[in-house]
Amino acid sequence: MRLAIFEDRSALQFAPISLLRPVFELLCGQLSVRERLFRSVPTAEWGVLIRPALAEVYAEQHPEARINDAIWLSEAPTLLINGRWLPSNAELGRLAHVSPDTVGMMGETVAYLLLEPEEAALLTTDAWDDAIQKIASTRKSVVAEGVELQYPWDLVNQNRSQLLADFTFDQSAHPSMGDARNLTIVGPPEMVRVAASAEIDPFVVLDTRQGPVVIEEDATIQAFTRIEGPAYIGKGTRLFRANLKAGTTVGPYCRLGGEIEESILHGYVNKYHDGFLGHSYVCPWVNLGAQTSNSDLKNDYSEVKVPLAGIPVETQSVKVGCFIGDHTKTGLNSLFNTGTSVGVMSMVLPTGELLPKHLPSFSRFWLGRIDCQINLSDLFQLAEYSMQRRGLSLSAGQRKLLVSLFDETSEEREQAIRWWDKKQAARPAPQSAS
């Protein structure tokens, strides 16, 4: 089967965590949407329809993919799948047998359809959303089982149930204790899967009463760590005296300590020291300084708003943490408010108070103010240093994308600076002691 995953206009609603990647590369459960589709649907060739700004970086990471290629789409029937659709396990099993006469719908949104070669000419870089909707109108509508992801917090809210679904779906994996002879399992032991190359110290507790715990190859779990399922620990990750609550996904090569609850850490995240992270999504190459913590619940238990690109959006949830873009660094004792959005390559230097809820990309919080006094070459040098410690480096495509993003977010930075300065100016002056 030929498979093509597409982003629609709503992909822009996933900033800041989607600024450097397509929405279908974001994690939920054990996998991204793309990885889950590849495990489920036999695929001979595949392509993507993504934002043009991401094309060069995506080609570097996936040279086998056909990117925004209408000619390739015109060569044979191709299954188009919306990258914001999180299919149910049952629906995953049916995708290999999609009828050309039907279209899977999530309400008013196309989830999937089988694109005929002659229809590919309708798809252009500027308007494939409209073309796909037009093609869908010629098909018989059927309900696409699963979840339509619309905002970053949807990934976090769905993570617990998706971890359960992924564990059930993956029948190829068999329970293994690996090097976990000394750990303590509270709950059904068959809900534990530990790769043979994982290293687990004595005095580690895995609690499977609410769901499974999966620990991938080359992971290292230090003594006095507690992991509550459902939870997923990615390849090469190291946990240092960590307390992981149910509903947490940890991607590859993270270094983590402290308390983490119902959060997704995409990969290559450093949170070595104590501090609380809850109901959050953290992108690669983020470093959270010692005692960095976030609030994920307001004192009055009211619903949380999150400023996406500076615009407050209702989440309709009372438990919402923070969403942190790639390469952002926080200093000692940084305190994030409920529903905070932090962009790419930001520098956070706290003042002992709650930080602004919106810190745009390439900004700095310094001495109680947001500013943009950041040299891009210095940020690139810091990113190179961080990545080289893991044997990686910034590619030419990544540099070009970051430069482009720096220009695109200039107005967002200026607005955030003006708003914060105005808010600070309105604060009452501190009372002097009599």
Residue length, the chain?
434
Residue 262: per-residue pLDDT: 98
Residues 209-238 have a mean pLDDT of: 97
pLDDT band at 182 (very low <50, low <70, confident <90, very high): low
Report the share of the chain in percent with pLDDT over 70.
95
Residue 158: per-residue pLDDT: 98
Residue 240: per-residue pLDDT: 96
Report the share of the chain in percent with pLDDT over 90.
86
Query: Which residue shows structure tokens 């959050």?
Result: 280
Residues 197-210 have a mean pLDDT of: 95
Residue 432: per-residue pLDDT: 58
Q: Is the pLDDT of residue 173 over 70?
A: no
Q: What share of the chain is helix, strand, coil (3-state, %, to 5)?
A: 25, 30, 45
Go through 180-211 and write b for each residue having 16 or more CB atoms within 10 A of its CB, e for each that does not. beebebebeeebbbbbeebebbeebebbbebb
Residue 172: per-residue pLDDT: 53
Residue 271: per-residue pLDDT: 97
How far is it, in rounded angstroms, from Cα 281 to Cα 283? Answer: 7
Q: In whole numbers, what is the pLDDT of the chain averaged over residues?
A: 93
Residue 409: per-residue pLDDT: 95
- Neighbour-count burial of 62, counting CB atoms closer than 10 A to its CB (0-12 exposed, 13-18 middle, 19+ buried): middle
SS3 for 129? helix
Residue 250: per-residue pLDDT: 98
Residue 359: per-residue pLDDT: 96
Q: Is the pLDDT of residue 433 over 60?
A: no
pLDDT in tens, 23-56: 999 999 999 999 999 998 999 999 999 999 999 9
Q: Is the pLDDT of residue 176 over 60?
A: no
Residue 373: per-residue pLDDT: 82
pLDDT in tens, 310-351: 999 999 999 999 999 999 999 999 999 999 999 999 999 988
Residues 384-389 have a mean pLDDT of: 94
Residue 122: per-residue pLDDT: 87
Residue 106: per-residue pLDDT: 95
Element (H, E) at 135: helix 128-136
Q: Is the pLDDT of residue 177 over 60?
A: no
pLDDT in tens, 84-131: 999 999 999 999 899 999 999 999 999 999 999 999 988 876 678 889
Q: Is the pLDDT of residue 180 over 60?
A: no
How many Cα atoms occupy the beta-carbon half-sphere of 100 within 13 Å? 8
Q: Is the pLDDT of residue 133 over 60?
A: yes
Residues 247-275 have a mean pLDDT of: 97
Is the CB of residue 173 less than 8 Å from the CB of residue 194?
no
The strand pairing partners of 281, in sequence order, are 264, 323
Longest CA–CA separation in the chain, Å:
82
User: What is the torsional sign of CA 159, 393, 377, 383?
Assistant: positive
